[in-house]
Amino acid sequence: MGEAGGKRAGEAGGKRAGEAGGERAGTASGDKSGAGHKRVAVHHDSGLLLIGLFKLAEAVFFFLVGAGAIHFIHRDLGDAAVRLAERLRVDPDGRLVSYVIDHLDAITAQRLKQIGLATFFYAALRTVEGVGLVLEQVWAEYLTVGVTTMFLPWELYEIARRPDWLRVCLLLANLVVLAYLVWWLGRSRRTRTSSAAD
């Protein structure tokens, strides 16, 4: 009878231990799964994705501008403007077309080459920023903050010299991008600090 009691007690103890072990394993597995989902949710930030796509769109725009500038080297810009006006059914002798042609005549082949090279460089820079931000690379965040801050005085100067809605909208967009990235970098730094402290 003592042996039977001992056997039953051993079986009950083993069962309880097994249940407790399974519960702990399930809890640990759930915790790991939850941590994995949390990492995925934090990794994909919609703000960084939108900024990265905006930078890539800028890169395409500046690449097209550079390609156009290189294409028109050693070509008559005034004649091209007249043909474009006729295609768009705009009076070639009108005030707007005459104003454009007068300004195009002042652009030399050397100036077009400078414009093309500058816009190609700017397109390459925007491509690096955009790809890095889409991939959520920290170096791309710092690079974008630095480049955006560096160009702000020039953008303000252009607005003061020749104010228009396009320049104002671009300035506001860059300020929003800068503010978001500064906030994001500060938040990421605080998160890393608290994780290291834990």
Does 74 fall in a domain? yes
Query: Cβ distance 127 to 147 under 8 Å?
Result: no
Identify which of 10-14, 93-97, 125-129 has the greatest average pLDDT.
Answer: 125-129
Same domain, 111 and 61: yes
Task: Indicate whether 170 pLDDT > 80.
Answer: yes
Asked whether the predicted pLDDT for residue 106 surpasses 80, the reply is no
Q: How far from chain centre, in Å, is Cα 50?
A: 6
pLDDT tier, 8 (very low <50, low <70, confident <90, very high otherwise): low
Domain ranges, residue 5:
1-38
CA-wise closest residue to 97 among 109, 87, 108, 107: 87
pLDDT of 48 over the 70 cut = yes
First and final C-alpha spacing in the chain:
54
Residues 51 and 32 in one domain: no
Is 127 within a domain? no
| Residue 149 maps to a domain | yes
Mean pLDDT for the chain? Answer: 78
Do the beta carbons of residue 115 and residue 69 sit within 8 Å? Answer: yes
Number of domains in the chain: 3
C-beta of residue 135 within 8 angstroms of C-beta of residue 144: no
pLDDT value for 158: 86
- The residue-averaged pLDDT of 44-63 equals 92
Same domain for 114 and 55? yes
Range among 36-40, 107-111, 130-134 rated most confident: 130-134
Tell whether 51 and 101 lie within a shared domain. Answer: yes
Residue 71 sits in the same domain as residue 95: yes
Contacts of 112 by beta carbon, 8 Å cutoff, 6+ apart? 69, 70, 72, 73
